[in-house]
Amino acid sequence: MEALQMYVNGKWEDSSNKEVINVTNPSTGKVMATIPRGDHGEVDRAVNAAKDSFVSEEWRRFKPFERGRLLYDVAGKLKENRDELARLETMDVGKPLSQGYADIDAAIRYFEFYGGAADKVMGDTIPIEDGLIDYVIREPIGVTAHIVPWNYPIQILSRSVAAAIAMGNTVVVKSAEDTPLTASRIAEYFDQTDLPKGVFNHITGYGHEAGAALSSHPLINHLTFTGSVGTGTAVATAATSNVVPVTLELGGKSPNIVFSDCDIDKAVEGVVKAIIQNAGQTCSAGSRLLVEESFKETFLNKLVDRFNTLSVGPALDDYDVGPILNQKQFDRIQDFMALAEQEGTVLTGGKRINYEKYENACYMAPTIIDDLSLNSKLAQEEIFGPVLSVFTFKNEQEAIEMANSTDYGLVTGIWTRDINKAHLLMSRIDSGQVFINNYGAGGGIQMPFGGYKKSGFGREKGWIALYNYTQVKNVAIKFD
């Protein structure tokens, strides 16, 4: 049992109310840590500390390359503690250990990528007329808030925090109450660097308390949020009242579109990995399968056989599929399964898997559902579990219409050997990312990530994310 603390203005502290929140290991259902139940008071102190640090001469004097070196220092600490961090992320979220390691490696890359970018964001000169020099510079936007979800805590924290600090901003992180362990470690690593006090702050607490106080705080200059559409709407509304820009990465109902001319073995494996990663608790999960009608039986037979080989069990034992986060999330998935029994055909899975010594943990067999209507909730809404819904199309136009038939547009996979067909679909599908004959591209540190429609707006990852954390200033100089 570890009693974690918040990190505010370079100091470790409990909440003023002295209340704590239990942190449970999804694999066992047992409490493994506590965090402070921070509220508006802690948020206010953290934001004010970040504001004071942002305007301080100490932080202003940090050159861009020096900010980059700080981020490289944190990357080095992540490398040194890779094994411990992978186990913490695995125990915290419930994802298989190999996926925990992959998340730590991605976090390292984010700090390295943005550390290297810190002194390479340039301005522009604009030709106006003789006797006038006009140029554009990018300045840091100020105090940035980062509300981190529970499913990929270290990755999502790293990708936004590293970009914000690289550009000279100060940061307040609110980690998810379910999965705060690696965020607390990153606070320790920042504390061990030469980063001035108040540049990085980490608060803990419930979303409706600490998260709401952070998103509505008048001293926040930019807010990054990853999570559900409902909560994202509330966050954006609160930020809008302060005229604050927001980067939202919300839900997805992402399709894998499989044509009969694909490499069937690669397509099967791609479809499987896209839905079982983190037990399907992924915004970019490939939760819909659109398969060419003439190819359906052949492909589904192979896919069902592959699903039936998947192992399900405790995360540290590195089974293919770990547990669902908690009972609340599991119950929500089971509500969808009850609907599936009424509206479709469950080809495999759909049931709870019980482990005698882990009665309080929630394990679920990977599931494939066929014969659904395109209007079904199972076709339209995020299930956030290892559940794949199957649909068929006759031609390319029908595949495009099906792919675009939800309110989301985050990721799409296309599986075909016909490059013309692939390019046609890519150009017609409303999706922030399109993968052709792959899905995910190894984490895609350098690739812009974000969605169309209700999947959010703005982009994270890659070079373009740096611009989230800057504001543009134009300067015009008249000379004779």
Give residues with Cβ within 8 angstroms of 208, minimum separation 6: none
Q: What is the 3-state secondary structure (H, E, C) of 107-146?
A: HHHHHHHHHHHCCCCCCEEEEEECCEEEEEEEEECCEEEE
Query: Which pLDDT tens digit goes with each residue over 27-61?
Result: 999 999 999 999 999 999 999 999 999 999 999 99
Buried b (16+ CB within 10 A) or exposed e, 6-24: bbbbbeebbbeeeebbebb
Query: Which pLDDT tens digit goes with each residue over 3-28?
Result: 999 999 999 999 999 999 999 999 99
Does pLDDT of 191 surpass 90? yes
CATH class given for the domain over 2-250+458-476: alpha beta
What pLDDT was estimated at residue 442?
A: 65
DSSP line for 144-190 = EEEE--SSSHHHHHHHHHHHHHHTT-EEEEE--TT--HHHHHHHHHH
Distance CA 106, CA 152 (A): 11
CATH class given for the domain over 255-443: alpha beta
Distance CA 422, CA 435 (A): 10
- Tell me, yes or no, if the pTM score tops 0.85: yes
Higher pLDDT, 426 or 359: 426
Enumerate helices (H) and strands (E) in the chain, giving the number of each.
15, 25
Percent of the chain with pLDDT over 90: 98
Does pLDDT of 450 surpass 80? yes
What pLDDT was estimated at residue 339?
A: 97
Average pLDDT, stretch 354-381? Answer: 95
Distance CA 91, CA 27 (A): 7
Phi-psi region of 199 (alpha: psi -120 to 50; beta: other; left: phi over 0): alpha
Using pLDDT thresholds of 50, 70 and 90, give the confidence band for residue 316.
Answer: very high
β-strands 352-353, 363-364: how paired?
antiparallel
CATH 3.40.605.10-classified regions of the chain = 2-250+458-476
What pLDDT was estimated at residue 210?
A: 97
What pLDDT was estimated at residue 443?
A: 72
Partners of 145 in beta bridges: 172, 223
Whether 154 contacts 85, CB under 8 Å: yes
Whether 270 contacts 438, CB under 8 Å: yes
What pLDDT was estimated at residue 480?
A: 84
Using pLDDT thresholds of 50, 70 and 90, give the confidence band for residue 1.
Answer: confident
What pLDDT was estimated at residue 218?
A: 97
What pLDDT was estimated at residue 123?
A: 92
DSSP line for 451-476 = -EETTEES-BSTGGGGGGGEEEEEEE
Enumerate the active-site residues: 249
What pLDDT was estimated at residue 22?
A: 98
| C-alpha dihedral (54, 57, 63, 68), degrees to nearest 10 | -40
CATH 3.40.309.10-classified regions of the chain = 255-443
Average pLDDT, stretch 322-345? Answer: 97
**Chain-wide mean pLDDT for the chain?**
97
Query: Which pLDDT tens digit goes with each residue over 264-290?
Result: 999 999 999 999 999 999 999 999 999
Whats the size of the chain, residue-wise? 480
